[in-house]
A and B are shown apart, each in its own frame.
Chain A
C-alpha cells in the first residue's frame, strides 16, 4: 500500500494479557516511530528505529513494553501483562530520513482498550 498500515485497528483485551501491535511502514522509509496518544492528550514518544542503528527506547514507559523491527521494515510493539492505563491509541509513523526536513507519515493507529 501507499501509506503506513497498522493492525489491528481496534483491540480489546483483558487486564493481564499480552498484546502485539503491528506497523507496516511506507516502503523505503528507514525511520519508524511509535507514539501513544491517550484520549484528549498529545503524542507521547515511545520508541524510534533508524536503519540498522540501535533503537531509541527512551520513551517506553515500563519494561512491559518492547518493540522490534525485523529486516528494517515491519515493526511490532508488544505490551505484556496489560494494565488499564495502557488504554490509548498507538500510532506508528515512518519517514524517509534522508533529507533534513523530511516529514513523518502516520498510520491510522491501533485503539487499545484494556478491560
Chain B
C-alpha cells in the first residue's frame, strides 16, 4: 500500500471553476503535510503547508482531517496558469521524511 494516495485525474475544468483534490495518507504518525505543484518537466515546488486548523492562501485553501487521514486542496476561481500536477505530501515528525503522492493533474481550459 502506498504511503500517500491521490486520484491521478486529469481534472478538466473551465476557467473560473472551483476544483477540489483529496489525498489520503496511511501513516497515522505523520505530522507535517504539504501540497506541492509540479509543472511539466519541472521540479516540484511548494504550494502551501497544511495545518491542523486549515489554512488559506488567496484562492487556495488546504484542510487536514486527522481522524480520516486525508488532506484536501480547494482552488477557487481557477486560472489557466493553475494547470499543473498537484502533489500531496505527508512527512514524519522525527526524521522529517517525506512521502509524495503520485500527483493529480489539473487542466484549466478557456
A residues bordering B, Cβ < 8 Å? 31, 33, 35, 41-43, 45, 48, 50, 53, 56, 91, 93, 95, 97, 100-109
Contact = CB atoms under 8 A, between A and B. Distances in A.
Contacts of A105: 46
Interface string B55-74: 00000000000000000000
A97 B95 contact: yes
Interface string B88-109: 0100010111111111000000
Contacts of A50: 95-97
Interface of B: 31-34, 42-46, 49, 51, 87, 89, 93, 95-103
A95 to B, nearest CB: 6
B88 to A, nearest CB: 10
A48 B99 CA distance: 11
B49 A48 contact: no
